């Protein structure tokens, strides 16, 4: 069977990346909202609103990845506990 194997450290690195990426997107949204308040032109406000919506969509994908990686790490930990308990049984 072919597939990609990940270890817990790889997944933790990916989780860390996604958390940092989400924080960066949140900061961008905050800056754009400040800019939107300063702008007088309605067309520019519409453009900024569209950009904010695009960033929010990317952020929702990042949140899904964070949930996925968190669940995978939890499964690794549970799997290690199960293996340890099986090992204790056959000791």
Angle of CA points 27, 31, 13, to nearest 5°: 15
Q: Locate all alpha helices (DSSP H) within the chain, ordered by sequence.
A: 8-38, 42-89
pLDDT band per the 50, 70, 90 thresholds, residue 85: low
Does an H or E element contain 39, and which?
none
Question: Mind listing the pLDDT tens digit for each residue in 31-68?
Answer: 999 999 999 999 999 999 999 999 999 999 999 999 98
What's the predicted TM-score (pTM) here? 0.73
Q: What backbone phi and psi angles, to 5 degrees, belong to 9?
A: -65, -40
More confident residue, 86 or 15: 15
How far apart are alpha carbons 19 and 65 in whole angstroms?
9
Q: In this structure, is residue 26 part of a structural domain?
A: yes
Does residue 2 form part of some domain? no
Structural domain harbouring 42:
8-89
Please state the domain count of the chain: 1
Residue 46 lies in a domain: yes
Residue 1 in any domain: the answer is: no
């Amino acid at each position: 069977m072919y597939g990609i194997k990940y270890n817990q450290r790889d997944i933790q690195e990916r989780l860390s990346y996604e958390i940092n990426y989400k924080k960066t997107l949140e900061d961008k949204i905050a800056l754009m909202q400040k800019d939107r308040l300063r702008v007088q032109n309605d067309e520019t406000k519409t453009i900024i609103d569209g950009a904010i919506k695009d960033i929010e969509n990317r952020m929702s994908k990042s949140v899904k990845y964070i949930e996925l990686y968190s669940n995978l790490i939890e499964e690794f930990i549970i799997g290690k506990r199960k293996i340890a308990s099986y090992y204790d049984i056959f000791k």
